[in-house]
Amino acid sequence: MFILLNGQFVSEEQAVVPVTDRSFLYGDGVFETIPVYNGKPFRWAQHLERLARGADFLKIRLAFAPKELRVLAGELIERNQMPNAVLRLTLSRGVGDRGYSPRGADSPVVVMTVHARTPVDPQNPPFWRLVTSSFKLPASDPMSSFKTNNRLLQVVARAEAEAADADDALLLNTNGEVAESSSANLFWIYRDTVYTTPTGRGALPGITRAVVLELCQALDLPTNKRVIKPESLRKSEGMFLSLSSMGIVPVGALDGESVPSSTIVEKILTTFHEVVQRETGP
């Protein structure tokens, strides 16, 4: 596998960063997970915009222009012969002085990798089982707007879910409100309206989430961003997740209880697939 390390294509064995890199030590950086369809990154501009906002918030210099990164991403995809993949773009503050202070860290590191991805068949999608996690997201955290390199809470929540034989964890915030899953934004259906949780209360402003809201508008499906408690979520008439690595994934069960299937979810899943093909197809 070829890796892009600071603008250079190297083998996986050659792609190394110092043990004193601040992303390794403290999770000091941001990243994006970008789906690749038909050899083309989907919604590249939106992912790069969020990465740039995160870098600006953390005061990390992004040494490559978005257009330059796009060219490099295309070459990386081609070199690895992965037209359908997940592209991971990681930005680290790099090496600096010992301790939390970012002083001296003036050589950021950019790493880009591609990984195999199994596309979701809109005619036969998986139905994920969720369990509510015992771990809570902060209800008010400005860094929840970005994908920082420290995702430890998501790691332990996912491990907890897998130990319970579930596919993902439903995360509440410290106010006891539903936020998202460990890897995705959450949507639910109630009385023919498509609901999702608001950002700024623990949920990431996901790129795929934004696509779903766009296509709902095109389909004349009413949407609502709503704060919801777990007990109210159980009254939903359908549920699905949106995540860059897979797109749309219906939810089949929550905490061992079946979630109703929904024709609205099916329509959104099919339309999302059509949007992807329209934007990335030959």
Fill in the amino acid letter for 70. Answer: R
Quote the Cα angle for 188-190-200, to 5°: 45
Pure H helices in 100-196: 152-163
Give the CATH number for residue 250.
3.20.10.10
Contacts of the segment 51-56: beta carbons below 8 A, 24+ positions apart: 51/89, 51/91, 51/146, 53/145, 53/146, 54/30, 54/145, 54/146, 54/147, 54/148, 55/30, 55/91
Number of separate helices (H) and strands (E) present in the chain:
7, 15
Determine the angle formed by the axes of helices 66-80 and 44-58, rounding to 10 degrees.
Answer: 120
Is residue 59 domain-shared with residue 105, that is, in the same domain? yes
User: Is pLDDT above 90 for 282?
Assistant: no
CB 29 within 8 A of CB 90: yes
pLDDT in tens, 13-23: 999 999 999 99
Domain boundary (65, 86, 116) is at 116
226 in a structural domain:
yes
Instruction: Reduce the DSSP state of residue 216 to 3 states and report it.
Output: helix
Is residue 71 domain-shared with residue 199, that is, in the same domain? no
77 in a structural domain:
yes
Is residue 97 domain-shared with residue 190, that is, in the same domain? no
122 in a structural domain:
no
CA distance 20 to 13: 19
Is residue 33 domain-shared with residue 163, that is, in the same domain? no
Is residue 95 domain-shared with residue 153, that is, in the same domain? no
pLDDT in tens, 216-228: 999 999 999 999 9
Write down the pLDDT at residue 150.
96
Confidence class for position 69, pLDDT limits 50, 70, 90: very high
28 in a structural domain:
yes
Instruction: Reduce the DSSP state of residue 47 to 3 states and report it.
Output: helix
Write down the pLDDT at residue 125.
95
200 in a structural domain:
yes
Confidence class for position 193, pLDDT limits 50, 70, 90: very high
Q: What average pLDDT does the segment 143-167 reach?
A: 97
Is residue 95 domain-shared with residue 156, that is, in the same domain? no
123 in a structural domain:
no
Number of structural domains in the chain: 2
Write down the pLDDT at residue 119.
81
Phi and psi at 171, nearest 5°, equal -105, 130
Is residue 111 domain-shared with residue 133, that is, in the same domain? no
Element of type H or E holding 137: strand 128-137
Residue range(s) defining the domain that contains residue 84: 2-116
Q: Is 108 left (phi over 0), alpha (psi -120 to 50) or beta?
A: beta
Is residue 133 domain-shared with residue 75, that is, in the same domain? no
Write down the pLDDT at residue 43.
98
Average pLDDT, the chain: 96
Write down the pLDDT at residue 99.
95
40-41, strands of its sheet edge to edge: 8-11, 2-5, 109-116, 85-92, 29-37, 40-41
Fill in the amino acid letter for 253. Answer: A
CA distance 20 to 198: 37
CA distance 60 to 20: 17
Fill in the amino acid letter for 245. Answer: S
DSSP 70: H
CB 121 within 8 A of CB 159: no
Domain boundary (81, 116, 151) is at 116
228 in a structural domain:
yes
Q: What average pLDDT does the segment 28-55 reach?
A: 97
Is residue 167 domain-shared with residue 276, that is, in the same domain? yes
Give the CATH number for residue 104.
3.30.470.10
pLDDT in tens, 231-261: 999 999 999 999 999 999 999 999 999 999 9
222 in a structural domain:
yes
CB 163 within 8 A of CB 179: no
CA distance 232 to 113: 40
Is residue 144 domain-shared with residue 199, that is, in the same domain? yes
CB 173 within 8 A of CB 139: yes
More confident residue, 119 or 5: 5
Is residue 141 domain-shared with residue 220, that is, in the same domain? yes
Which among 219, 226, 221, 194 is positioned nearest to 275, based on CA atoms? Answer: 219
Return the number of other C-beta atoms located less than 10 Å from residue 164's C-beta.
15
Domain boundary (116, 151, 170) is at 116
Fill in the amino acid letter for 27. Answer: G
Determine the angle formed by the axes of helices 44-58 and 207-218, rounding to 10 degrees.
Answer: 140
pLDDT in tens, 80-99: 999 999 999 999 999 999 99
Is residue 75 domain-shared with residue 186, that is, in the same domain? no
